Structure 1
Amino acid sequence: MKKNARLLYLLTVWTFFVVFPSTAAPRFVDDENPPTASPSITYVLSMPEPQTHYFEVELQLKNSATATNAKKNGYVDIKMPVWTPGSYLIREYAKNVEAFTATSTGTDKIVPSEKIRKNAWRVYSTEDNLTIRYRVYANELTVRTSFIDIDHGYVTPASMFMYHDALKNLPHRVIVQPYKDWKVVTTALEPVSSPTARYAGFTYEAPDFDLLVDSPIEIGNQRTFGFTASNVPHTVAMFGDVYFDEQRLAADYKRVCEAAASVVGEHPCKQYTFIVHHIPQGGGGLEHLNSTTLETYRTAYSTETNYKNFLTLVAHEYFHLWNVKRIRPVALGPFDYENENYTHMLWLSEGCTSFYEDNILRRAGFHTPEAYLTIVSNDIGTIENQPGVRVQSAAESSWDAWIKGYRPNENSANTTISYYSKGSVLGTLLNLSILAGTNGERSMDDLMRYLYTEYYKKQKRGFTDEEFRKAAEQVAGRKLDDFFTIAVNSAEPINYNAYFEPVGLQLANVASKTQDGFLGAATSPANGKATVTSVRRGSAAYTDGLNVGDEIISVDGLRVGDDLLRFVSGRRVGDVLKVLVNRSGILRELSITLTQNPLASYRLQPLASQTPAQKALYNKWLFIK
């Protein structure tokens, strides 16, 4: 997932216009003549009153009593996932569920049921055929949650569909019954059809619950267009009132997608779907096996800077169809939907995807070599200017995603580092290590290809931390002790120039030397007051006792109001400020001695003299012909 990308078309007998990822028609379901007596799972998803923000779900279990041990136990346990893959936080989706009932299919006789855990319901029945109904409140439009209003509906399946453990590996069918004014359904799920049966809505089937969870659904009147990249049909569904040049956007999607596919050299999808939400604020994306959902501003296409930022998001989420969905640590599938799924390698899965987002735009021609070097320098500055980089390693950041990554507080910058930003830098360093170790014969691409072939295709599983390290060293042709011991698994400083020297560059801190003093506190100007929102570890504010939540009343006897900066600007290192604060209703005066500004500004610069080998490796690194 990220900052934060997956569709085709058919007119039905009810004049609904539905977008499918293939040209197959909607399925017609023959309830009177089931093909076999094996267990079946069908969800009917309806939305008769979208203005209330409710979806209605009907879960039909047929011939299931033996598979679920209902005849033996006297009950069936139905569960709701507590999180969704790609977003590493327990989200407690069951909090939005209400009106859970169970009936005997065909008779509508109520079957006793009760909630037994935060996300589990027990249905006391030994019957083969049960119908379970519930409602889901959906009023949070993000790529990780479901949403519905009068304009459209969006379904994150983990937040909508309950499951039974014993049935997870069986096919799951979904019948979507759109609100009466909506004509389009977009999803990467396979449509199914039978020309002799009764029309039952837009019907799709996933081979198992995992793929159902991995297939978001957009319902409404979204605009759609398609393109082909790497001989694979792609569909883009656009929700939101936004202007864009369809021809240009389709062409640029194609450039990004084909550049991404060149990394591994094989596209594993039969089709791919992008669902794009254009919203007033926020942004990001969530990857899926054959699709993605992107959220972006309505101004995403209004300027070249905004446009390139959007393409960066496209590249990130699209590359996840390889890295994470197929090239993955062992913890990232199959999933436990009730508990945290821990790994030390989100720096690889997410962070190296962030590395590739810019690498992909460079090889597609959207970034010049100079612009790419600036991006790399800025990435290093982002992590090195955060105090937490000396506290938390990339491996620890990955492991603690569940409790820290999605729950930052005012002290997070002092104690943590993002596995996205640190991982992006690590991707650059690992790529350079492989290039240098093989004299340009191999790169990070070769490592991705090896992992894809060996573990996804041959062994059909993820890899362990040790297997990844061995693969990286095998591709690099040498030991990578400094990279794994220092850069990945510790919070010690990284010797960046050891990585950049082989391509003829050095990393320099070009921040201007100034005598201006540094306070180290950020404030919010809300309500005409300067209230401290964060304090940087090791700064003057931190050492001399300024606290988050303090309202700064005055500096050296002068009333501050909401503009603290003008009272600090121009002061020198060693100057002492007399700061009066309101802390929990008590006035306190603090003496704060300003320190040297610790913030660096990095730039990659050519070495004074470069060898032909360094120049050749530089050109190889930056795709310069």
Structure 2
Amino acid sequence: MKKPSTKKLPAIRYTIVPKDLAGHLFEVSVTVDQPSIDGQLFALPAWIPGSYMIREFSRNIVQIRAESQGKQVALAKLDKHAWRAAPVDGPLSLHYEVYAWDLSVRAAHLDQTHGFFNGTSVFLRAIGQEALPHLVDIARGGDPATKTWRVATALPELGAKRYGFGTYLAANYDELIDHPVELGDFALASFKAHGIPHDIVITGRVPNLDMARLQADLKAICETQIAFFEPKSKKAPMARYVFLTLAVGDGYGGLEHRASTALICARADLPVTSTPPTLGVSDGYLKFLGLCSHEYFHTWNVKRIKPAAFAPYDLQNETYTALLWLFEGFTSYYDDLLLVRAGVIDEATYLALQAKTIGSVLRGSGRTKQSVAESSFDAWGKYYRQDENAPNAIVSYYAKGSLVALAFDLTIRAKTDGKKSLDDVMLALWQRFGRDFYAAGADGGRGVTEAQVEALFDEATGLRLKPLFNRYVRGTEDLPLHKLYAPFGVRLHDQRKSDKPSFDVAIGRDGADSKLAQVHEGGAAHVAGLSAGDVLVALDGLRIGGAATALDGLLARYQVGQVVQVHAFRRDELMQFKLVLQGERVPGITLELVDPGKKVRGPARPSA
């Protein structure tokens, strides 16, 4: 297909240059050919879709100026996100520098090793002109370190060759900011999933990376997910997909986009070439594959099937929805489920992953106080701003949301004798709200409301599922997983070590001492009066120390029910506490497949 000429496109034009690698500065310019006659308004987003927290990216703009036809134009700052240029007769350009030193998937980072940016961090929005095409010239800059750099992004090329510096095209501002960009010397491999090119980009030093295994495993995952949503046509919703991965010493995270994902992982989690080839999946590699599966599933579930509150996004303000349990929780359910359907892991590994999730949810008393619907709505103020009391106050719409998905799936399968499953609900959501989302124009299609979600569950399954919504989505009841697993030949065990004495705390470090990071409600430390932040000094006159197992080592000499004396510093004051040792309250969840003849993972595709 012939690429359009930039000369014929009325567009918003950007240039971004890695200007000062040691100073971590991108130089950015934006030109508007026909600015507003009242003075063009510009704003930088306050948050990035997929990460529900006001991040105030504009604080990283170091300096900014405006000009038109070679003359300086007055530029007034209206608030911490927005500027207005004085009216001009002719094209208007803004030039600014962005400080990029956030080594995460959410913002921008630049140094001598690589560059990375999300559009929300660097591209000012020309208010009122978001629907126009947006052109981006990604320039190499003059630093010698960039001579061997390449460009990785899912943005369509216009004046650039694939992986090269040059001009890229977005149909509108929403598309522009939905394609992160990686600059650097990176490892690169490609594969096709049902005919669609997929690129794997690995930035960072990873000795003996087994790229062939990574290609094979990701291909299996991607093809399984494409066929999940389009079982007949196996048509993917994107023309090309890119896994942008930054490998570091210790890190984990991902952020979804419509045709790519930005990932960060520990280099030890990536597969290593060996002779003979390594069999099985290590815990670290399994964690990375689960992350890839999660973010790839978002290509459908949240990037195209969206809550109504996100269609379109309000990028300057907090945007509330009570549906993140569906978009993040259900994605967390399917990320592991589709690993086993793809043949990447076996059923025993899958059940072990489910058991771990169940244990993590049961660990915190916050699950009895906050529903997953409330957790979704409170994401901006609570989930993304967790403190030391989080386990006692909130529940994760990721973790418990995945268990809600499991409960729905098992219930639907049992009540329909296997004729229907949660797959049918997801397929109906895709067909009704997701498949044609971006065909609807610059702002996309319509999102789904809470009422529509609930109605669609009943419609797709032929069941009345309102009681489950009341108890487990809007309510705080624990899910009856023992009962729900039984028809599928799975038995749930809770083998917590009730005879093992415990403080029931999470321990951190404070120099050479142990520091209480979290104190669980109702546990021995809480009852005794200890608090998060207290630095433990001694147990019955013996120094506790700061080693990870120091407290456990001392407690091994005691019995449940014994009374001990604990000395601790709170701030600079030494305090003494009388503590009655309780049994270990950490759930020891295991799932046993007692009837291997029964399916625990469902059909390979929706029954519809």
Q: Does 1:418 align with 2:392?
A: no
The farther-off stretch of 460-469 and 205-214 is 460-469
Question: Which structure 1 segments of 5+ residues have no match?
Answer: 1-22
Q: Does 1:301 align with 2:263?
A: no
Q: Does 1:221 align with 2:171?
A: no
Map 1:146-545 → 2, pairs under 5 A: 146-180=108-142, 181-193=147-159, 202-242=166-206, 243-265=208-230, 266-299=235-268, 300-302=270-272, 304-305=281-282, 306-457=284-435, 460-514=445-499, 516-545=500-529
Cα shift at 1:189? 1.0
C-alpha change, 1:128 and 1:378, in structure 2 (3 Å) is same
1-side partners of 2:561 and 2:187: how far apart? 60
Deviations 1:436-480 (A, max 9, x none): 232212222211111111112468321101111111122222111
Tell me if structure 1 keeps the 8 A contact 2:496–2:584.
Answer: no
1-side partners of 2:399 and 2:160: how far apart? 49
Deviations 1:470-525 (A, max 9, x none): 111222221113321111112222222332233233322123452x3332233334
Match of 2:532 in 1: 548
Query: Identity over aligned residues, as a percent?
Result: 33
Deviations 1:49-103 (A, max 9, x none): 22221000011110x23xx3xx2x3x22210101111111111100100211000
Tell me if structure 2 keeps the 8 A contact 1:42–1:172.
Answer: yes
1-side partners of 2:52 and 2:303: how far apart? 15
Tell me if structure 2 keeps the 8 A contact 1:362–1:622.
Answer: no
Cα shift at 1:555? 2.2
C-alpha change, 1:49 and 1:512, in structure 2 (3 Å) is closer
Question: Which structure 2 segments of 5+ residues have no match?
Answer: 273-277, 438-444
2:322 maps to a residue whose letter is H
2-side partners of 1:260 and 1:219: how far apart? 29
Cα shift at 1:140? 1.2
Cα shift at 1:213? 0.7
Cα shift at 1:285? 1.0
Task: Report the TM-score, using the length of structure 1 for normalisation.
Answer: 0.87
1-side partners of 2:487 and 2:180: how far apart? 44
Task: Report the TM-score, using the length of structure 2 for normalisation.
Answer: 0.90
2:571 maps to a residue whose letter is S
C-alpha change, 1:151 and 1:581, in structure 2 (3 Å) is closer
Deviations 1:216-262 (A, max 9, x none): 11122323221110111112222112132232222221111111112
2-side partners of 1:45 and 1:604: how far apart? 52
1-side partners of 2:216 and 2:185: how far apart? 23
Q: Does 1:589 align with 2:586?
A: no
Cα shift at 1:359? 0.7
Tell me if structure 2 keeps the 8 A contact 1:28–1:194.
Answer: no
C-alpha change, 1:443 and 1:321, in structure 2 (3 Å) is same
Tell me if structure 2 keeps the 8 A contact 1:435–1:621.
Answer: no
SS in 2 for 1:126: coil
Q: Which has the higher contact order (CA 8 A, sep 6+)?
A: 1
2:111 maps to a residue whose letter is D
Aligned residues: 575
Deviations 1:528-566 (A, max 9, x none): 223222211011111121122222232223333333333
C-alpha change, 1:187 and 1:522, in structure 2 (3 Å) is closer
2-side partners of 1:269 and 1:217: how far apart? 17
The farther-off stretch of 116-125 and 432-441 is 432-441
Match of 2:554 in 1: 567
Match of 1:47 in 2: 18
Deviations 1:87-135 (A, max 9, x none): 111111001002110001x3x2101112110011121123231011000
2-side partners of 1:203 and 1:527: how far apart? 51
Over aligned residue pairs, what C-alpha RMSD do you find?
A: 2.3
Tell me if structure 1 keeps the 8 A contact 2:159–2:166.
Answer: no
Match of 2:8 in 1: 35
SS in 2 for 1:48: strand
2-side partners of 1:259 and 1:150: how far apart? 38
C-alpha change, 1:524 and 1:42, in structure 2 (3 Å) is same
Tell me if structure 2 keeps the 8 A contact 1:535–1:541.
Answer: yes
SS in 2 for 1:462: coil
Tell me if structure 2 keeps the 8 A contact 1:154–1:219.
Answer: yes
Deviations 1:127-178 (A, max 9, x none): 2310110000001121101011112111111000001220111111101101
The farther-off stretch of 240-249 and 253-262 is 240-249
1-side partners of 2:434 and 2:536: how far apart? 57
C-alpha change, 1:394 and 1:570, in structure 2 (3 Å) is farther
Q: Does 1:601 align with 2:585?
A: no
1-side partners of 2:564 and 2:603: how far apart? 49
SS in 2 for 1:238: strand
Tell me if structure 2 keeps the 8 A contact 1:532–1:549.
Answer: yes
Cα shift at 1:330? 1.1
SS in 2 for 1:284: strand
1:539 maps to a residue whose letter is G
Tell me if structure 2 keeps the 8 A contact 1:327–1:448.
Answer: no
